[in-house]
Amino acid sequence: MDSNRLQDELMLERNSRLEFEHKYKSVIDHNLDPIITINLSGRISYANIAVHKAFGYRLKELTGRAIIDLIGEEKNNEFNDFLSRAFSGESIEMEGIKFFHKRGKYLSAYVKTIPVAIRGDIKEIHLILRDTSFHLKNNERLLFLSYHDQLTGLWNRRALKEHFDADADYAFRCDEQLSLIQLDLDRFNTINDSIGRNGADEILKMIADRIKLVIPKAGKLYRNGGDEYIILLQNHSIEKTEKLTQKIMSDFTKPFYFNRQEYFISSSIGISVYPEDGTELEELLQKAEQAVRFVKERGRSHYRFYREEMNTAFTDTALMEAHLRRAIEFNELELHYQPQVNLKTGEIDSFEALLRWNNRKFGFVSPAEFIPLAEESGLIHSIGDWVLEVVCAQLKEWQDKQFRPVRIAVNISPKQFQIGAFAEKAKQIIEKHGIHPSSFEVEITESALMNMKDTLSTLQKLKEIGVTISVDDFGTGYSSLSYLKQYPIDIIKIDRSFIKDIELDEKNEAIAKTIINLAHNLGMQVIAEGVEKDLQAEILKEADCHKAQGYLFSKAVPASEIAERYFA
Ligand code: C2E
Ligand code: MG
Ligand code: MG
């Protein structure tokens, strides 16, 4: 071969090598994925433009640096192994390494190696990187959603199951207890009815936030759907669990605000304990629920630990409801009347009508038990109407017999009050029977008054008709008293809980006296409920309480007995 030809060929080969290198370099330079090239000692020799975009470094900032310095420490060993395999010629991939961004944060990345071999010897390695933090965020989000309640962001039932399995396992090994607290909101459907689904959702969130504040480190809060929350506590003594429950209950005495209106919501709480009450989650849930129902049947707004007796004392509410449905038809309902005694004069010119239900299967059932059932099932409307009819008929009968004028107070459930046109209904019945409107009194509990919309207009209409209005169980439901100014209220009834022990408990005495003064100052009458002892009546009389009702004077008795005793 002559020298000219040789030179030409060398030239050609050099050109084609340059051309190839050029193409190869531009593929790397413009690749959308970040690519870093490292030499055999693990130091960076090259980085493309995408590296700058993804991780913030320019080529000159990286050249000569050890790749391992850019990797999150916890995977250092794994990454070194990975590199040595790559140096032995394998093209391999690794997920989930943390790559240090120039601005200080770690980004999750995926790496693929491409060994560069020249004549069989590995000279360098290209690392193709991909920022997977976005996917990771998505995955994390999916993971979050599957373990959390969407409305409140609390853990969900699925999370409870997994946490319980782990916690129970630990508790078993360490001979510890777990407490499972189930919290059910009382009458939350009335909130739903009055402010609608969206408003009720807002309140459910506020409740979650409020409970969250008191959950200890070793506890987790779950939403169990609807208006139920669950707290799982690790290694908590009965005393500590009870303290926490009391704290939650006292936090519930503060109102929740929605659209600048205050709402009072109480809760009933049942507690079961691992391993005493069961070792499986389902069993513990069922027992906590039984304790909740036990509380609800006994007037709500309280807490109980599960006890074996609850099983036997437990009534079949579905069956009871079926019986209640036919109570009017079977003549099982009766109204009894409890006299309200004027403490100064001893005179009696008013009574409270209290429902009695004597059922052939269940016997006498307390209104504290069947009224909530009637409210939940909607039966309260027909039962409530029946009560209004009977009371008006009773007043009419006494009026016709020319007995001295008296007044009867009727307990009105918030459900009845809420259905709209309650005032119109009362008017119609009063007119139908031809009784004096002022001889008819409606008793509405304080908390119910607050939780209803249109309360003011209904009360005003009742006032226009001439009906007497009283606030029942005063002092138990509310913290702000401004409604007393707004609403046309005639009578305040001091709740029994303040009268009980009034002779022993100075605080109760102070509360009762304050309520009495308040009523006087507002020009309202005041009636003390649940007076059982002479001394209690004496204290109340001295404090200028107008009237009292309670076992000291009489329990509620049938109408015939009232006529005999008070009108003879
Ligand atoms: P309430 O309106 O606060 O009625 C007073 C309750 O205290 C009555 O219980 C009465 O029997 C009881 N009581 C009266 N004096 C004493 C006493 O000296 N000591 C004690 N420990 N208790 C006394 P009852 O009849 O079991 O009624 C419970 C609740 O059921 C009532 O509380 C009321 O909220 C509701 N209720 C009763 N009748 C009706 C009704 O016709 N309609 C509606 N919606 N609710 C009713
Ligand atoms: Mg009452
Ligand atoms: Mg009461």
* Ligand sitting nearest the alpha carbon of 495: 3
Which pLDDT does position 315 carry in this prediction? Answer: 63
Question: Which run of H or of E encompasses 22?
Answer: helix 3-29
Q: CB within 5 A of ion ligand 3: which residues?
A: 472-473, 529
Measured between alpha carbons, how far is 487 from 474 in angstroms, rounded to an integer? 14
Helices (H) and strands (E) in the chain, counts: 22, 22
The rounded Å distance from CA 354 to ligand 1 centre is 6
Strand-pairing partners, residue 220, are 232
The rounded Å distance from CA 532 to ligand 2 centre is 16
Using CA atoms in the order 269, 274, 280, 281, what is the torsion angle rounded to 10 degrees? Answer: 30
Task: Spell out the domain ranges in the chain.
Answer: 31-132, 148-310, 319-566
Q: Say what the pTM is.
A: 0.57
Write out the DSSP string of 468-521.
EEEEEEETSS-S--THHHHS---EEEE-HHHHTTTTT-HHHHHHHHHHHHHHHH
Q: Which of 352, 392, 411 to mutate to test the pocket of ligand 1 (most atoms within 8 A of CB)?
A: 411
Question: Which run of H or of E encompasses 449?
Answer: helix 446-450
Residue nearest to atom 45 of ligand 1 (CA): 411
Structure tokens at 549: 């009702």
CA 290 to chain centre: 18
Q: Work out the pLDDT band at 453, boundaries 50, 70, 90.
A: low
CB-based contacts of 158, cutoff 8 Å, min separation 6: 146, 147
104, amino acid identity: G
- As a whole number of Å, the CA-based R_g of the chain is 38
- HSE, side-chain direction, 13 A CA sphere, residue 99: 26
Work out which ligand 1 atom sits closest to the CA atom of 443: 2
Which fold is adopted by the domain 148-310?
A: Alpha-Beta Plaits (3.30.70)
Q: Is 176's pLDDT higher than 80? A: yes
Alpha helices, DSSP H, located in 88-232 = 133-147, 157-174, 188-212
521, amino acid identity: N
The rounded Å distance from CA 95 to ligand 1 centre is 68
Q: Which of 446, 529, 533 to mutate to test the pocket of ligand 1 (most atoms within 8 A of CB)?
A: 529
Measured between alpha carbons, how far is 196 from 468 in angstroms, rounded to an integer? 30
Residues 319-566: name the CATH superfamily: EAL domain (3.20.20.450)
Phi, psi dihedral angles at 525 (to 5 degrees) = -85, 160
Whether residue 255 contacts residue 479, with contact meaning beta carbons closer than 8 Å, is answered with yes
The overall average pLDDT reported for the chain is 90
Measured between alpha carbons, how far is 149 from 140 in angstroms, rounded to an integer? 15
Comparing CA positions, the residue from 84, 50, 89, 91 lying closest to residue 68 is: 84
The rounded Å distance from CA 296 to ligand 1 centre is 16
The rounded Å distance from CA 449 to ligand 3 centre is 14
CB-based contacts of 566, cutoff 8 Å, min separation 6: 339, 348, 406
> Using one digit for the tens of pLDDT, what is the confidence trace for 456-500?
889 999 999 999 999 998 987 665 677 888 899 999 999 999 999
Structure tokens at 196: 């609608």
Q: Work out the pLDDT band at 445, boundaries 50, 70, 90.
A: confident
The rounded Å distance from CA 355 to ligand 3 centre is 13
Q: Which residues line ligand 1 (CB under 6 A)?
A: 338, 354-355, 366-368, 371, 387, 411-413, 472-473, 496, 529-532, 549-551, 556
Pairing, β 491-494 against β 468-474 = parallel
> Using one digit for the tens of pLDDT, what is the confidence trace for 70-104?
988 888 888 998 898 889 888 888 888 888 888 88
Structure-model confidence comparison of residues 107 and 148, the more confident one: 148
Question: Which run of H or of E encompasses 386?
Answer: helix 380-400
Whether residue 542 contacts residue 337, with contact meaning beta carbons closer than 8 Å, is answered with no
The rounded Å distance from CA 282 to ligand 2 centre is 39
Residue 67 DSSP code:
G
Which pLDDT does position 528 carry in this prediction? Answer: 98
Which pLDDT does position 311 carry in this prediction? Answer: 65
Structure tokens at 438: 């002022």
Structure tokens at 392: 């008006």
Whether residue 220 contacts residue 263, with contact meaning beta carbons closer than 8 Å, is answered with no
Q: Is 321's pLDDT higher than 80? A: yes
Burial degree of 557 (CB within 10 A; 0-12, 13-18, 19+): middle
> Using one digit for the tens of pLDDT, what is the confidence trace for 185-231?
988 888 888 888 899 999 999 999 999 999 998 899 999 989 999 99
Work out which ligand 1 atom sits closest to the CA atom of 335: 41
Whether residue 207 contacts residue 269, with contact meaning beta carbons closer than 8 Å, is answered with no
* Ligand sitting nearest the alpha carbon of 556: 1
Q: Which of 190, 298, 334, 354 to mutate to test the pocket of ligand 1 (most atoms within 8 A of CB)?
A: 354
Write out the DSSP string of 263-310.
E---EEEEEEEETTT-SSHHHHHHHHHHHHHHHHHTTSS-EEE--HHH
Phi, psi dihedral angles at 107 (to 5 degrees) = -110, 140
The rounded Å distance from CA 396 to ligand 3 centre is 25
Which pLDDT does position 314 carry in this prediction? Answer: 55
Whether residue 236 contacts residue 272, with contact meaning beta carbons closer than 8 Å, is answered with no
3.30.450.20, 1.10.3720.10, 3.30.470.20, 3.40.50.360: which CATH number matches 31-132? 3.30.450.20
Location of structure tokens 């030409």: 8
Greatest distance between any 2 Cα atoms in the chain = 149
> Using one digit for the tens of pLDDT, what is the confidence trace for 259-295?
888 888 889 999 999 999 999 999 999 999 999 988 8
Burial degree of 268 (CB within 10 A; 0-12, 13-18, 19+): buried
Other Cβ atoms less than 10 A from the Cβ of 176: the count is: 16
Residue nearest to atom 15 of ligand 1 (CA): 550
The rounded Å distance from CA 360 to ligand 1 centre is 22
Measured between alpha carbons, how far is 465 from 442 in angstroms, rounded to an integer? 12
Residue nearest to atom 7 of ligand 1 (CA): 530
Measured between alpha carbons, how far is 25 from 134 in angstroms, rounded to an integer? 28
* Ligand sitting nearest the alpha carbon of 338: 1
66, amino acid identity: A
Residue nearest to atom 25 of ligand 1 (CA): 354
The least confident of 98-102, 135-139, 153-157, 430-434 is: 135-139
Comparing CA positions, the residue from 300, 410, 394, 315 lying closest to residue 362 is: 315
Q: Is 243's pLDDT higher than 90? A: yes
Location of structure tokens 């303040």: 498
> Using one digit for the tens of pLDDT, what is the confidence trace for 107-118?
888 899 999 988
